[in-house]
Amino acid sequence: MTAAVATKLEAADWTSDAKEALAAVEALYKDALASVRARVTKDGKLSSELIEADQHAAHGLAWLATYIQGLRELVDYAERLSAEGAYGETEELLNQIGFAEFLAQVYGGIPMSQGEIVRLSDFGL
């Protein structure tokens, strides 16, 4: 097996693992959305008062969605470069670092500002 073939196989393995991780985070988001929605809904409608009272979780939900989109983009980027034959070791390592950092923040706490971090427990998870 040549080094080029080995690199392509590793890229395929990494994107497969990344897609599994992404699916897990998307499932967390669905649970978080349901939890926050239940807390900010009154009589079947969103309540501005309840959203204000639970603003931290509502704001955090938007951040979680943003992180998920970032994870999707990293997977798509890897697949595009791989299809073009331009996905080398540097690109793979950069993707892996970015993906791992986003995952670590999803599970450990997403910084929404210098002093505000949202954690999965804030969503009732």
pLDDT digits (tens, 9 = 90+) for 66-98: 999 999 999 999 999 989 999 888 999 999 999
Q: Taking residues 35-41, what's their average pLDDT? A: 96
Q: How far apart are CA 57 and CA 40, in angstroms?
A: 10
Sorted by where each begins, the domain ranges of the chain are: 3-123
Q: Taking residues 45-51, what's their average pLDDT? A: 95
The reported pLDDT for the residue numbered 120 is: 97
The reported pLDDT for the residue numbered 1 is: 43
Q: Say which residues have a Cβ less than 8 Å from residue 89's Cβ, sequence separation at least 6.
A: 7
Tokens of 112: 């929404």
pTM confidence score:
0.86
Give me the chain's average pLDDT, please. Answer: 91
Give the burial class of 23: count Cβ atoms within 10 A of its Cβ; 0-12 exposed, 13-18 middle, 19 or more buried: exposed
